[in-house]
Amino acid sequence: MKLPLELAVEATAATLIDAQAAPAELRLCTDTRHLRRGDTFLALRGEHFDGHDFAAEAVRGGAAMLVIDDERRRVSGTPAMIVGETRTAYMALAGAARGLFEGRVIGITGSAGKTTTRTFLAQLLAHGYAGRVLSAPRNENNEIGVSKLLLELSNADHDVAVVEMGARHYGDVAALVEIARPQFGILTNVGEAHLEIMGSRERLEETKWALFARGARAILNAADAASRRRSRTLAAAPHWFAGELASLESAQDFDVLTAFAGRRLVHRSDDRTIELDVDVRVPGEHNRANLAAAVAGAIELGIVPERLAEAIAGARLPEGRYDRVASSGGMSLIYDAYNANASSMIAALEAFGGEAAARRIAVLGSMAELGDESKILHERVGEHAARLVDVLLLCGEYANDVARGATRAGFDTNQIVRVESNAQAAQWLREHAHADDVVLLKGSRKYKLEEIVEELRA
């Protein structure tokens, strides 16, 4: 979205230097590698870089103006907007771009499943909006990623923006909602992700629930206790979704509901129920729930259930989520270690438990940022693993807690293997796993379990 200069200055309360030479419209860029002649370069700061160090390079590359927060970093002869802090200004400019967008915005947040739901929804919307949907290609879901997405909006090219909203700190979603202003909001669930940083479950719930602070139409998980409890605070009844209708204690309690019932899609609204045959190919009830959330979102955006039923068979998981990989030894690997919290660990194990194989071997790394509940949540994962897998390879800070939970649930201690590195895990698998075994790799990103995949592909 090109921003009129006056609007940009007003949104950021900037001091404009060399106004007569400033461009009438701004197309913002924060990376000199992607800068085009005539762009306005905004100098962001990060943990390991300072965009101000690249201001001169940006000008040499054709930048028409700079947005900086340190006037001493000006480049002589180049117009500049001097702002209080460039990250805050970037978000303000993104909010201004959103204000110019004439289409619809749907926001997605939750403790697990955000990226998968966003990916599914973008795929489904392609069947109703013919390429006029903007969605981030990866999980760029913080204030920088969301701002970048909003600034890429174009009324000429887009009718819908699908905005994934992550949260590591209390209040993060509220800040993103202020600039994105979604008319629709999907809350996948409220689990334990970043509990240590949030401080409490109450603060975690409040952070996620901020998705609806500006009146977004709520699309909620019927199996999520926090959503059921807090739904009473909404101004309008929500659109509920479920991965499996039979799992709900009382499906009749939900006036508007989209759910799968085996190989059927069920949509109920205004006392009218539609049931359609569907071919759901994604593994696990948690991914069925994510797909149901995407279907509910697409319905809210005007695509009829009949058209969506045809598209469901083509739904594909994003990279790093239950990826099937062939190894050099012939065993089947399932890589699902993009990230992990207790809810996603248990969901992946449940899906893995349905795999047909001689043995199901789970390589589990630890989870991060769970605070005081770390030990008990790792024990809970172990308890679930005990009834679903045949062998456990455990690594990470809380490996002993996972083992304790598994053995308490009756798992044979001889089937638990502790490994100190990914290389050691790969070596054990080479020596002990067979072609008719299937192996799950699941854990926090910090443990880099993809290294095991790389070792076993070699």
265 pLDDT higher than 80: yes
Q: How far is CA 210 from the centre of its chain?
A: 16
CATH architecture, domain 101-314? 3-Layer(aba) Sandwich (3.40)
Longest dimension (CA), the chain: 77
Cite the residue boundaries of each domain of the chain with CATH code 3.40.1390.10. Answer: 3-89
Question: 130-134, 186-190, 307-311, 323-327: which range is least confident on average?
Answer: 323-327
- Of 431, 404, 343, whose CA–CA distance to 392 is shortest? 404
Sequence ranges of the chain with CATH classification 3.40.1190.10: 101-314
Dist CA 237 CA 231 (whole Å): 8
Q: What is the pLDDT of residue 125?
A: 97
Percent of the chain topping pLDDT 70: 98
Q: What is the C-alpha separation between 44 and 66, in angstroms, rounded?
A: 11
CATH superfamily for domain 3-89:
MurE/MurF, N-terminal domain (3.40.1390.10)
Q: In whole numbers, what is the pLDDT of the chain averaged over residues?
A: 94
Per the structure block, which two tokens stand in for 110? 């939750």
Q: Which CATH code fits 323-457? A: 3.90.190.20
C-alpha radius of gyration, the chain, whole number: 24
End-to-end CA distance of the chain: 45
d(CA 277, CA 282): 16
Alpha carbon distance 406, 190 (integer Å): 25
Picking from 452, 454, 432, 433, the residue whose alpha carbon sits closest to that of residue 442 is: 452
- pTM attached to this predicted model: 0.91
In the chain, which residues fall in CATH 3.90.190.20?
A: 323-457
Q: What is the pLDDT of residue 373?
A: 87
pLDDT, tens digit, for every residue of 398-408?
999 999 999 99
Residue 332 CA to residue 322 CA, distance in Å, equals 12
User: In which residue are the tokens 């800068």 written?
Assistant: 35
Q: What is the pLDDT of residues 4-45, one digit of tens each?
A: 999 999 999 999 999 999 999 999 999 999 999 999 999 999
Helices (H) and strands (E) in the chain, counts: 16, 22
Rounded to whole angstroms, what are the CA distances from 330 to 327, 357, 439?
Answer: 5, 13, 11
Question: 437: burial class by Cβ within 10 Å (0-12, 13-18, 19+)?
Answer: buried
pLDDT at 271: 79
Amino acid sitting at position 220: L
pLDDT of residue 197: 66
Which of 208-222, 268-282, 361-375 has maximum average pLDDT? 208-222
Residue pointed to by tokens 């698998």: 429
Q: What is the pLDDT of residue 6?
A: 98
pLDDT at 243: 95
